[in-house]
Each structure stands twice: as structure tokens, then as C-alpha cells.
Amino acid sequence: MSQLEFAAVPQPDEPARAEALRRHATLIKPVGSLGRLEELGAWVAACQGTCPPRPFARPRVVVFAGDHGIAAKGVSAYPPEATAQLVRALLDGGGVPGTLAAVAGAGLRVADLAVNGETPVAEFKVRQGSGSIDVEDALTGDEVIAALRAGIALADAEIDAGADLLAAGDLGVGVGTPSSVLIAALTGSEPVAVVGRGSGIDDTAWMRKAAAIRDALRRARAVLADPVALLRTAGGADLAAMTGFLAQAAIRRTPVLLDGLAAAAAALVAEELAPGARSWWLAAHRCAEPAHRLALEHLGLEPVLDLHIRLGQGAGALTALPVLTMAVRLLTDVATYEEAGVTPPVQP
């Protein structure tokens, strides 16, 4: 298997973060009265290395699409052929992400990494579907490296084109199963702790999904010490590409809004491959899947929203983007006491 090493991850600018928090104390409002909005704005300032931070000029969401062999085992409410259909609907503007992106002012890109069918967005395609991880590897050694490199290339392409905030979404029938396996493996959790309802499965499908995760987790734990081997064994081309994307964004000093379950699973692996990358990520929301909570706790990330979203496809990240935009504009647009001619409160 070819080798792949990530560059060292730089860290956000702590003086810029501190300056943002100091600036908040001078704005015409009680100190700390905007709660976590103040922290979010300071995080953006640290990522940009300047205070006040710049409003986002080109936020971009990349949706990583792929099929998973485990879907044939009945772990999803959708049939496997739905992935290609959903990709076409998304490209035609009929999906949830397109609507949310228009409201949030974000660009949207769809990349086919492993859809089991033909799509017009297959520039980075690694294979037709990934293996059924309960009984076989998701990818070959060469394929997992190709997928990681695809994610790196996608991050570089978006950043080079001017993206100043990124998000990664997922689209694929059955993707919740490998995502849950990766999270269980890296957080030391048991299968029953990570099995969720995903696409809206019934009790029978839930039991099939639990059995699939149990069998895949047994295989995954044998390669736990090697993050690339873990992706090869229990991930998929879409998840591996997302991992490379998240790691490269951090290396390129570009903040990322983490979406749902699949993004959290990829983030756990990316942090193993590029330690410190988590400093460049913000958890957009807490989704309804139990594994997502475990992953965010392991990464030490506090979600911005908790709206019980479990769609994936970048929906949670796009929903949180306006909140982050507001946090930045507070630092750029609100007057200070001195500028407004307002007497500040007496500090205790």
C-alpha cells in the first residue's frame, strides 16, 4: 500500500482570539451577555489570525457521495439504488442541502467517490460502491490512499478557489453503519451504544444494523492502531475522502463546520492522522444518532445547535452557518461604548 503522510497542523492564533474577547467587553452590551456567540466569533478570529474577523466571503459545502455494500443487508430504510437517485436530485436542485445553502449563502459541491452507478460528478471516483464491512474490507490498500488523496485534492481546490469556510456532508445509503463502526472503534464503545435509527429504520432493521456493526467492529478492532487500515477495513471511499478533506483543511488553516454522524466519524480518524486538526473544526450541531454524541465528546467539541437533525448531506452545518455569520458580524458591526457615546456599566 502506498504511503501517505500529512503535514504538521498549525494552531489557530490565540492572541487574535484573546483580542476578540477583549473587544466584546467594549461593545455596547453587558459583558458576556451574548453567551456563546462571543466564543464563536473569537474562534473565527483565531482561525483567521485577525480581530475583528472578516465576514465569510465564500463558504462552501462539499457533499461526499458513496454506496456501501452493507446496505444490501437491510440496515437502511432506503434501497441501495437510491444513492444515485439522490445525487441526481441534489444536482437538480431538489434536495435539502440546495435549499439550505441558498438561505445560508453557501456554495455547494457534490463529489461521487463510490456511487454504485453513473453520475456527472465522478471526477474523484475511487470505485463503484465499497465492500460489505461485516465480512470484507471496504477498500483495498490502494483505494483507501486514492480516496484520502481525493479528499485532500478537494480541500485544496476549494481553498485555492477562495473558500474561507468549509463543511463536509455525506450522501449514501447505509453510510451510518460504517460511520458508527469507526466511532465505536475509536471511542472504545460497544455496538449497542452506537446503533441509531439512521434513515428511520424499524426495530427489525435496527437489529440487523446492530449485528452488522458488531461484526464489522470485531474486524475493525484488529487494525485499530493504524488509522488508514481502519478506513480500509471499516470505512468507505466517501468516508476516507472526507477524512483527507478535514485534515487538509486544518493544514491549510481553513475553519470547518462539522456536520453530522459521517463527518464526526471522519473527523475522529482525521485527528489521528493529523493531530491538532480539531482546533480548526466547529461542531455545527448534535444529531439524533447516539454515536454522534460519543464522537463529539471524544473530540472535545461542543455543538452549536441541537435540533435533532439526522439527515447528513451538510444539513446541520448549513443550518448553523447563519449563527456563525452573526457571531462574526457582532465583532465587525456593533459599536463600542466610546464610538456610540454611551456610558459603560460599572464593573464589579
- To the query of whether residue 248 is one of the catalytic residues in this protein, the response is no
Distance from C-alpha of 273 to C-alpha of 243, rounded to nearest angstrom:
9
R_g of the chain, CA atoms, integer Å: 20
Contact (Cβ atoms closer than 8 angstroms) between residue 129 and residue 175: no
Using CA atoms, how far residue 32 sits from 24, 143, 220, in Å, is 8, 49, 45
User: What single-letter amino acid sits at 132?
Assistant: S
The counts of H helices and E strands in the chain are 14, 5
Distance from C-alpha of 151 to C-alpha of 168, rounded to nearest angstrom:
10
SS3 for 70?
Answer: helix
Select which of 11, 48, 313, 347 is catalytic: 313
Among the listed residues 167, 165, 155, 111, the one whose alpha carbon sits nearest the alpha carbon of residue 245: 155
Beta bridge partners of 167: 61, 257
SS3 for 321?
Answer: helix
Contact (Cβ atoms closer than 8 angstroms) between residue 302 and residue 324: no
Q: Which residue has the cell 471516483?
A: 125
State the burial class of residue 305 (Cβ atoms within 10 Å of its Cβ: 0-12, 13-18, 19+).
middle
Cα dihedral 159, 160, 162, 168, rounded to 10, equals -30
Among the listed residues 300, 290, 281, 289, the one whose alpha carbon sits nearest the alpha carbon of residue 243: 281
Beta bridge partners of 282: 257
List, by residue number, the catalytic residues. Answer: 313
